[in-house]
Amino acid sequence: DPLSVTLRYYPKNVKSSGDSSSSSSENDKDKYWETYLVQGSPYLTFAYKDVTPVITPLSIFKGFTCPTSTEKDDNNDNSDDCSVVHQDDTTVTLKGTRFLLHTQENLTWMLFASKEGIVLSFDNIRKTTITSVQTFSGVLRLALVPPTISLQSSTDISDLSPTSIGVKNLLACHSNTYPVGGKVTWNVPTKGVANVHFRYTTTTLKSDSDCHSNELLMLALPHHMQVLPAEQLLSDSNLV
């Protein structure tokens, strides 16, 4: 559609249903993962069906942790968001629906899982993989926490640090609703004026939200911000 592309991938030994050369069993043909590339979404969204998610960084991970109590939305009373299953010098295993991934570049990613939750194991020796301990059927969403740059060195990537708790809470608050497609319509009410409407098809990670709102969070270019209705924009007060 005009706003998105959905890509589906099958395990190496599984062919798509349209491939007559497949030697896989009928059950294997139902195993896949897919991602929704939607313009304007600040999240990466992946849906899995009986496959094992593996997350790898461009370089290495510095850490894999649960959010602290101050990094959770005030309206969220669920203490089962994330918990430690096992931790030693070689492996960190966490289970839940919300995690923090820290990379060598001092970037922080937030990882959200659907209501079923997931158990993930971090290889603390090689520091290059975070892997589900078993096959997974559900949805994972990744969002980069926008970094700030130290005023002392605006070009050194080592000076990058996560922004305010407010940004993390904002990403967590809106992680429940995600787009899987969309369409664009328009009308011209008067000469020289056009109204453009973006309608997204959405679904949710879970039936109940950790946040007061299930509204879709999207990004816009600066010149788009100038013409968007004020009630659809987030103010700076949302980010502190």
* Nearest 10 degrees: Cα torsion 139, 140, 141, 145: 160
Measured distance CA(56)–CA(60) in Å, rounded:
8
Prediction pTM value: 0.82
Phi, psi values for residue 42, rounded to 5°: -85, 0
Measured distance CA(147)–CA(101) in Å, rounded:
14
Q: Which residue has the higher pLDDT, 94 or 224?
A: 94
- Please state the rounded mean pLDDT for residues 45-52: 96
pLDDT in tens, 146-163: 876 554 444 444 444 555
**Tokens standing for 127?**
């520091």
Question: pLDDT band for position 19 (50/70/90)?
Answer: low
Listed residue (111, 40, 124, 42) closest to 82, CA to CA: 111
Q: What's the chain's average pLDDT? A: 83
Measured distance CA(94)–CA(101) in Å, rounded:
12
- Return the domain boundaries, the chain: 53-173, 177-228
Listed residue (212, 142, 202, 210) closest to 177, CA to CA: 202
